[in-house]
């Protein structure tokens, strides 16, 4: 026990050990230390280290501690897998006075409602033995949890010959996630037939395009968790360095409660999404934290706050100005479907050097550059990716360029080359290729992301302002 006490005492600052070390050793010889005494000495050592450490020692130390704690927590979390599938609905005949868009929206919304109904979900929960913990309380909890874990999102705007939507389900067991996805899609197909029989109309064609089996877990995102732990540790170090950290924490807690209360009061239904409320609470906490730091800083160190605010505004202005100096890029995309596992032969023809050279000359791309260099740039700006590993994989064709109209025209040419090459080889047993989503006309540029530039500049300025003040004072003192 005395050895543990000496180890705990060794954590005190060197100045304290030099002054009180001999007296502490004499005290250990006279008393019999207990576990409670060891914890008291250890806590006192850590507290004194935090009090005596400088800002540049305390903040990195707590940052590393936060990253380690978050890393341990991330690796103890249970992974979750997401199985997804793409379904296509062929447009049915509209009712009198009903537009095609509204008819398709009504149909897909009805299928979604029946797929997520309590009867459908509870049947899958019971058959696949899902959510054992929630079922230990009531079946309603398990059904509600599964409804939250299912997402159905459209992949294509309504109004065409067909609409595609993506259904995804996340669960800790990859095999059960895939099985539940199969059953959900089967229920959607059955619900479409039942709805047609009940309404005595011609049913729309609902087919499964592809189902993707989860290969790796989608959560927990360990790098993000470790990054959050690092940021939390750094922030905690800053709070301790301020010396009035309890006032800042109180301000942050008040901000979180106010944000959640105002959001719930503004909702028409008080029972909002848990994830949304958590995000609002975190946002309110961060805002309250910043306001608390500013209030304490203005009271204790107004010069430091002024330098931090000035650095933040200056860095944000510079970063936004740099973002306007960068070239603007737009991205157009199209979605194709092939009826076999092999890559359609037209894909290789679409990215061949001869095809790219003709497209560059036709649309006047990369002006002022030699043709070889222009072809190399275009190869980097084209992306043809496959997703889904079923019998009907889909392919996304993307092209990024500084002109939105030319980006769309290039994707149109690439799709035409793929379709023409596929049509030529139909006699040789080539797979059928069809366009699910035509080339899009990009509305907003994908880069530069000026909002991200502004946030990065703001954060960098908040850090650089105090650093400049510190080195300036150090230089003046020297």
d(CA 115, CA 106): 14
> Which run of H or of E encompasses 82?
strand 81-90
What token pair was written down for 451?
Answer: 């909002």
Instruction: Check residue 389 and give its pLDDT.
Output: 46
pLDDT at 474: 76
Categorize the per-residue pLDDT at 159 as very low, low, confident or very high, splitting at 50, 70 and 90.
Answer: very low
- pLDDT higher than threshold 60 for residue 267: no
Looking at the predicted structure, is the pLDDT value of residue 390 above 50?
A: no
For strands 382-387 and 394-401, give the pairing: antiparallel
Measure the CA–CA gap between 188 and 115, rounded to whole angstroms: 6
For the ranges 34-38, 50-54, 209-213, 357-361, the maximum mean pLDDT occurs at 357-361
* pLDDT at residue 157, as a whole number: 44
- Whether the predicted pLDDT of 322 surpasses 80: yes
Could you report the per-residue pLDDT of 81-118, keeping only the tens digit for each?
A: 888 888 877 755 555 655 565 666 667 777 777 777 88
Intrachain domains 81-212 and 330-437 with the same fold: no
Give DSSP secondary structure letters for 265-329: HHSSSS---HHHHHHHHHHHHHHHHHHHHHHHHHHH-HHHHHHHHHHHHHHHHHHHHHHHHSPPB
Give the pLDDT of residue 262: 64
Residue with tokens 């366009």: 435
Residue 225, pLDDT score: 77
| pLDDT reported for residue 445 | 86
How confident is the model at residue 49, as a pLDDT?
65
Range of 180-189, 239-248, 342-351 with top mean pLDDT? 180-189
> Is pLDDT at 271 greater than 50 in this prediction?
no
What's the CATH class of domain 330-437?
Answer: alpha beta
Domain 81-212 homologous superfamily, CATH: EIF_2_alpha (3.30.70.1130)
In this prediction, residues 130-139 reach a mean pLDDT of 83
Q: What is the mean pLDDT of residues 448-461?
A: 83
Per-residue tokens: 343: 């890559």
pLDDT for position 401: 93
Cβ atoms of 363 and 406 closer than 8 Å = yes
Those residues with Cβ within 8 angstroms of residue 15's Cβ, 6 or more apart along the chain or in another chain: 52
Mean pLDDT over 454-464 rounds to: 81
Going by the DSSP 8-state scheme, the letter that residue 427 receives in this structure is G
**Mean of the pLDDT values across residues 309-313?**
82
Q: 376 or 258: which carries more pLDDT confidence?
A: 376
| Of residues 209, 206, 210, 190, the one with CA closest to residue 198 | 190
pLDDT in tens, 179-224: 898 888 888 888 777 777 776 666 667 777 767 777 677 777 777 7
Please confirm whether the linkage preceding 448 is cis (ω < 30° from 0): yes
So where are the chain's domains? Answer: 2-76, 81-212, 222-324+453-477, 330-437
Pick the residue with more confidence: 340 or 364?
364
Q: Give pLDDT, residue 97.
A: 56
DSSP 359: H
Statement: the pTM of the whole predicted model exceeds 0.85: no
What is the percent of the chain where pLDDT is above 70? 70
The DSSP symbol for 194 reads: H
- Exposed (0-12), middle (13-18) or buried (19+): which is 375, by Cβ within 10 Å? buried
Q: How confident is the model at residue 406 (pLDDT cuts 50, 70, 90)?
A: very high
Best-predicted range by mean pLDDT (54-63, 162-171, 393-402) = 393-402
Mean pLDDT, rounded, for 433-446: 80
- How high is the pLDDT of residue 160? 46
């Amino acid at each position: 026990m005395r050895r543990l006490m000496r180890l705990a005492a060794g954590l005190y600052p060197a100045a304290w050990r030099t002054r009180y070390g001999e007296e502490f050793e004499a005290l250990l010889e006279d008393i019999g230390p207990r576990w409670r005494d060891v914890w008291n000495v250890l806590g006192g050592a850590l507290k004194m280290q935090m009090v005596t450490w400088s800002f540049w020692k305390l903040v990195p130390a707590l940052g590393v501690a936060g990253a380690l704690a978050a890393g341990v927590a991330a690796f103890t979390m249970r992974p979750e897998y997401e199985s997804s599938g793409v379904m296509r609905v062929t447009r049915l005949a509209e009712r009198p006075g009903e537009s095609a868009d509204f008819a398709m929206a009504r149909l897909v919304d009805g299928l979604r409602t029946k797929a997520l109904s309590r009867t459908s979900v509870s049947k899958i929960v019971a058959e696949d033995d899902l959510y054992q913990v929630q079922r230990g309380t009531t079946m309603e909890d398990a059904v509600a949890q599964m409804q939250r874990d299912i997402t159905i999102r459209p992949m294509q705007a309504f109004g065409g010959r067909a609409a595609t939507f993506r259904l995804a389900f996340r669960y800790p067991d990859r095999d059960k996630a895939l099985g539940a996805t199969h059953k959900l899609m089967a229920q959607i197909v059955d619900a479409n037939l039942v709805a047609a029989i009940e309404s005595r109309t011609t049913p729309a064609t609902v087919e499964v395009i592809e189902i993707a089996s989860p290969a790796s877990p989608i959560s927990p995102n360990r790098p993000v968790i470790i990054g959050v732990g690092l940021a939390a540790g750094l922030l905690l170090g800053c709070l301790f360095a301020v010396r009035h950290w309890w006032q800042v924490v109180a301000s942050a807690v008040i901000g979180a409660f106010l944000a959640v209360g105002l959001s719930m009061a503004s909702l028409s239904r008080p029972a909002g999404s848990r994830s949304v409320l958590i995000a609002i609470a975190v946002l309110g906490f961060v805002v309250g934290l910043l306001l608390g730091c500013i209030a304490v800083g203005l009271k204790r160190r107004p010069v430091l706050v002024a330098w931090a605010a000035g650095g933040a505004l200056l860095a944000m202005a510079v970063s936004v100005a740099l973002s306007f100096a960068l070239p603007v890029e737009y991205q157009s995309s199209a979605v194709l479907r092939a009826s076999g596992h092999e890559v359609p032969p037209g894909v290789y023809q679409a990215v061949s050097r001869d095809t790219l050279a003709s497209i560059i000359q036709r649309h006047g791309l990369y002006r002022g550059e030699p043709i070889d260099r222009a072809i190399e740039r275009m190869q980097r700006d084209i992306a043809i990716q496959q997703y889904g590993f079923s019998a009907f994989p889909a392919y996304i064709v993307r092209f990024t360029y500084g002109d939105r109209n030319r980006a769309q025209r290039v994707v149109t040419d690439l799709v035409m080359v793929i379709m023409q090459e596929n049509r030529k080889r139909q006699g040789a047993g080539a797979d059928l290729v069809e366009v699910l989503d035509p080339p899009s006309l990009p509305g907003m540029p994908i880069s530069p992301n000026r909002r991200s530039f502004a946030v990065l500049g703001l954060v960098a300025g908040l850090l650089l302002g105090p650093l400049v003040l510190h080195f300036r004072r150090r230089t003046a003192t020297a």
